[in-house]
Amino acid sequence: MTDSSVTPLRIRAFVWAAATVFMGAVVAVAAALVWNARQVALEDYQAQATRFVTGAEAALNRSLLAVDVLLASMDELLGLSVAVNEWIDPGLASERLRSSARQNLMVRYVALLDARGTTLASSDAAGSELQLQLPPGFLASVLEQPVSTLMVSPPVVSFTTAERVLYFARHLRLADGARVVAVAEVPVGALSSVLVQGVDIGGLQVTLERAGGQLLLSVPNREEAAATVLSPPLHEVASAGEDWRAPARLTSEPALVVYRPVLYQDLRISASIPLRDALAGWRDQRNAITLTGLLFVAMIVVAGHLALRYLDRLSQARAAIAQSKATLDQALESMVSGFLLLDSQHRVVQWNRRFEEIFPWLRGAIAPLVPFRQIMEENARHYLPRATDDERTRWVDLRLLKQSQHLEPHEQVLPGGITIQTTERPTPEGGIVITYHDVTALRRASAEIESLAFYDPLTNLPNRRLLMDRMQQVIAASVRNGQYGALLFLDLDHFKTLNDTRGHEVGDLLLCQVAERLKICVRREDTVARLGGDEFVVMLHELSPRSEEAAAFARRVGEKILRALNMPYSLGGISYHSTPSIGATLMGGAQQQPGVDPLKQADIAMYQVKSQGRNGLCFFDPQMQIAISVRAQLEADLQTALASRQFVLHYQPQFHLDGRIVGAEALIRWLHPERGLVAPGSFIAVAEESELIVPMGHWVLRTACEQLAVWQRDARFRHVQLSVNVSARQFRQRDFVARVVEVLRETGARPHLLKLELTESLVLDDVDDTIAKMGLLKTKGVRFSVDDFGTGYSSLAYLTRLPLDQLKIDQSFVHNLGVRHTDDVIVQTIIGMARNLELDVIAEGVETAAQKAVLADYGCQLFQGYLLGMPGPVEALEVLLQEHAHAVEPPVAAAAAEGPAAAA
């Protein structure tokens, strides 16, 4: 028998074996469901029976107790304990008994009997004439009780109503010691309704019986004339009842029997549920499950038959596919490009031999259904052997992102220098076809052509042609965005002498080292080019929209280049010192003049340096050179001022509407040894750009905190609060929070007396970082204010997230109050918004009484300006505080250091 015939037989055997297993599983599941349903039904009925007996016990106890209380109350009702038999008035006693019996709906009537059974009084219409037919011996058993106890008679048929009743009785003593018996007649039906309580449980049998089995009542009712004794007693069926094997109390069939004792005379309540009734609903479930199981078995048989037919067709299709695949494999193996096919889940389906030749390190990793990501991870380990796992993961993610975007063909350079062009195309089924084509020779030829055309062959820097092209692009972009750039033209001093004395080879070494040093001195986006000989050009992009700032930046770069090129060179074992001459000019910007050649301007400035002794930097515009020199001198003076402690703080008071001084604003002043007192407007911008603002801001913060600590020791000033305006550079320092906390700790200043003012632009620059830092300082007690509020574009959503205490209305709005309607609207909006956000608001720059009056009408209560007080030394503020001491309290106080580090 051939293999082709054996395989179908094995498949058929497997299919029918699987079908048999499934059918066995269906039968097992059906049997388990049937058994589980039976157990659930029994447990449900058991729970119902237990709940019923518990409720019936409580209801019967209440009913019996009510009857017992009714009988026991006859003593007090009729005054029996102080009377004798002859004193009892039958008419009056019967009337009182009728009134008392009406309160218990179960009791038909109550009667008072003497020891011989004669009726003394009764709630019945017959009164004392009522003749009771108590069960034999019942009256004697009641009188024999040593203690007055409620007794229950066997059921009897009442002669007056012909229904079954029970008698409840207890004996009472008269004044002379004689005993009388209080009797209540209760219909069995009334007690039955108390027991059943409207419960609807299929097949339920309820009994009230004595411990010995004597049946007092039952539901359903048994109409025997004489009292029935049930067997066996309840205590003998307790354990069997839990297993549904006890005889039902009325029908004796297998059942669940649950019972509870009641309060009186060893009475028992029992509930019996026959097993036949408990399983009535389960039988329907059993039949339904069985039918469903048979349907599943039939479906499995049909499915097995259909599976065999499908497998026969599949076998035929496989043969056709195998033939097609063999043909396709031959075509793929003949391709000169690498080939890789991925399915819709980006798993490897097929590849050719050329793919393994291009990526030989993947031969052990590639296999059918291997995820493409795993192939890329193996590539990452090969391409980036020293990278970290995170770096490799980012490399793989970027590669897969390109794949998902289906971009144009892209290239990658393999470690061996081979350039592979990768093309990816989606398939209709959601997969991807990837081809890898070796374009190494083509790219090398293109690179060589480009290098010869646009790069200097000695230094590999851009040549004049590429520089001019880039310069035109930079100028055009600069005119559009208004950002100035700069051009630095460099010439090496005495380079010809080196060439003549040491030879061109040594001169070439110097040029290469100069090129490397120049690239280190500039940013990545800037351009360093060699024009020829010893001439180099540095082009700086997008420095600043202000010409002064752009020139200052270019100057710093030029000075950095001067320092770098003045360092000794090692040229073939000899040490050589060389200097450059640098000419600089600005280019681009909104004021770029047409026809201006920045390269020629920088060249002219360079020759100016040559004429002045070389080894220097000169700008083309003389006026610009003067401005740069002044700016450079100012930076140097500021450095000296910080080191020599030339800065002082002045304070401008802030007032409440009622005239109280509520705080002061700390203002930085420069006490120059030659120019005298310098306002911050002359130096804050330079400090901000040169990063001197950070140490200056820290000095302002520490000085203000030291002053707060001094005032804390003086009861006249300890309530005064100060705040320091924090610059953006200072606030963005990583250790800003730690430095503020350290200053507060070292100076001993109370944090709640310090308020830090932030500008709107600073707050919105990085909201999450701002909130985090403000939150940390708020936990220490520091308060916050937004300075110059209204001049930016704050979002109300951001304001609600910031832990602010105060908004400060910019003085530009205050000056235009009553002049420009829009400024009045803005001021009203700010005050209203601050009120809604529960923030304080203070107006700065108040210079006229009219401005203050308008602000007060709009709801502003805090003011600052020349109208109220001029800035001055701390001594002047202390004198002013003493003059207003009677009105000063420690409510809201606001202060801000001026400008970026201190306000003007």
Please give the structure tokens belonging to residue 418.
């081979």
Report the CATH number at residue 757. Answer: 3.20.20.450
pLDDT at 628 over 70: no
Kindly state whether residues 616 and 730 are assigned to the same domain. Answer: no
Confidence at 439, pLDDT banded by 50, 70, 90: confident
**Looking at the structure, do residues 400 and 271 belong to the same domain, yes or no?**
no
Task: For residue 899, tell me if it sits in a domain.
Answer: no
Q: Is residue 249's pLDDT more than 60?
A: yes
pLDDT in tens, 675-728: 888 888 888 888 887 788 999 999 999 999 999 999 999 888 888 889 888 988
Encode 467-518 in three state secondary structure: HHHHHHHHHHHHHHHCCEEEEEEEEECCHHHHHHHHCHHHHHHHHHHHHHHH
- Res 6 pLDDT > 60: no
CATH number, position 496 = 3.30.70.270
pLDDT at 440: 78
- 869 and 797 inside one domain: yes
**Does residue 550 sit in the same domain as residue 431?**
no
Of 422, 445, 468, the one marking the end of a domain is 445
- The yes-or-no verdict on residue 444 having pLDDT over 80 is no
- What pLDDT does 181 receive? 92
Provide the pairing of β-strand 535-544 with 569-571: unpaired
pLDDT of residue 448: 66
Q: Does 730 share its domain with 837?
A: yes
Reported as a pLDDT band with limits 50, 70 and 90, residue 491 is very high
Residue 733, helix vs strand vs coil: coil
Q: What is the pLDDT of residue 893?
A: 38
pLDDT at 450: 64
Pair 666, 599 in one domain: no
Total number of domains in the chain: 4
| 727 in the same domain as 778 | yes
User: Is the residue at 102 inside a domain?
Assistant: yes
Helices 389-405 + 372-383 axis angle, to 10: 130
Torsion angle, CA of 886/888/891/894, rounded to 10 degrees? 170
**Same domain? 645 vs 613:** no
* Nearest by Cα to 600 from 657, 653, 537, 546: 537
What distances in angstroms separate CA 861 from CA 298, 717, 835, 853, one per listed residue?
Answer: 90, 22, 12, 10
DSSP class per residue in 640-655: HHHHHT-EEEEEEEEE
Instruction: State the pairing for strand pair 484-492/580-588.
Output: antiparallel
Asked if the structure places residue 756 within a domain, the reply is yes
Residue given tokens 């990837």 in the structure block: 434
The pLDDT mean for the chain works out to 84
Residue 238: which CATH number?
3.30.450.20
Asked whether residue 476 is domain-assigned, the answer is no
In order of 216, 486, 526, 543, 599, the CA distances from 547 in angstroms are 116, 10, 18, 9, 18
CA–CA distance, 171 with 144 (Å, rounded to integer): 9
Angle at 330 between CA 326 and CA 331, to 5 degrees: 120
Q: What is the mean pLDDT of residues 50-65?
A: 87
In the prediction, which pLDDT does 411 show? 76
CA angle, residues 504, 505, 508, in degrees to nearest 5: 85
**Average pLDDT for residues 759-774, to the nearest whole number?**
82
Q: Does residue 887 have a pLDDT over 60?
A: no
In this structure, of 2-11, 86-95, 103-112, 310-319, the range with the lowest mean pLDDT score is: 2-11
Average pLDDT over residues 59-76: 88
Segment 332-377, tens digit of pLDDT? 666 778 878 888 888 888 888 888 778 888 887 888 888 888 888 8
Residue 684 main-chain phi, psi, to 5 deg: -65, -40
Range of the domain at 260: 60-278
Lowest mean pLDDT segment, chosen from 266-275, 381-390, 491-500 = 381-390
Does some domain include residue 626?
Answer: no
Q: Are residues 352 and 262 in the same domain?
A: no
Domain C-terminal end among 573, 590, 620: 620
Token pair in block for residue 374: 């795993």
Of 229, 258, 278, which residue sits at a domain end? 278
pLDDT at position 881 is 87
Q: Are residues 245 and 371 in the same domain?
A: no
Tokens for 417, please give them: 């220098």
Q: Check pLDDT > 70 for residue 860.
A: yes
Q: Work out the widest C-alpha separation in the chain, in whole angstroms.
A: 163
Q: What is the mean pLDDT of residues 141-169?
A: 87
pLDDT confidence of residue 775? 92
Q: Decide if 257 is inside a domain.
A: yes
Tell me whether residue 385 is in a domain.
yes
Per-residue model confidence as pLDDT tens digits over 496-512: 888 888 888 989 999 99
Does this model's pTM top 0.75? My answer is: no
Give residue-wise pLDDT tens across range 210-219: 888 888 888 8
pLDDT value, residue 629: 67
* pLDDT (tens digit per residue) in 393-426: 888 888 888 777 766 787 777 766 778 878 888 8
Which H helix or E strand runs over 206? strand 205-210
pLDDT of residue 901: 38
More confident residue, 76 or 320: 76
Residue 268, in any domain of the structure = yes
Mean predicted confidence (pLDDT) in 133-138:
88
Same domain, 427 and 495: no
Does residue 203 share a domain with residue 136?
yes
Query: 783-808, pLDDT tens digit by residue?
Result: 999 887 776 655 566 777 889 999 99
For residue 669, give the nearest of 700, 702, 710 by alpha carbon: 700
